[in-house]
Structure 1
Amino acid sequence: MPNRGKKGVTVENRRRVLRLIENMTMGRNAVGYLSESLHGAGSPQAQRVLIQRLFDLENKKRLAKHLAGIVE
């Protein structure tokens, strides 16, 4: 069976999401370049636990689609 994306998701929208991820991880907006990404108040694992507790996944999906220019 050939590799296929999710039915109903256009190639253009897939490209937009990949470009957003590229920009956030390697581009000028990469978290590693921001001073806010430095953490000096505990272990990285403690930071991950707190972020997961406060994380609103559906809102983040909506924001990512907005940033990527995806209109459904």
Structure 2
Amino acid sequence: MSEREQLEAAVERAAAHSLQLIETGAGWTPIRKAQDDWSAAVGDLARYLLTTGEPGWIPGAATRREMSLDMAS
């Protein structure tokens, strides 16, 4: 998995974790930490894209890639 794919996957994992906490009614502190983690992951991806000049990120792309690789196995 390339560095970009790892960063995209980190953003998607952090977003899913944050949503899971919200949906299950977790307290404010864990939700805030999860959202801080998501924000940091987005920042890391943005820095990578700005540094490399690669085109922008498409939400869900990493998940779709992982699914297509799983199906190909």
Higher helix residue share: 2
TM-score band w.r.t. shorter chain: 0.3 to 0.5
TM-score, normalised relative to structure 2: 0.35
TM-score, normalised relative to structure 1: 0.36
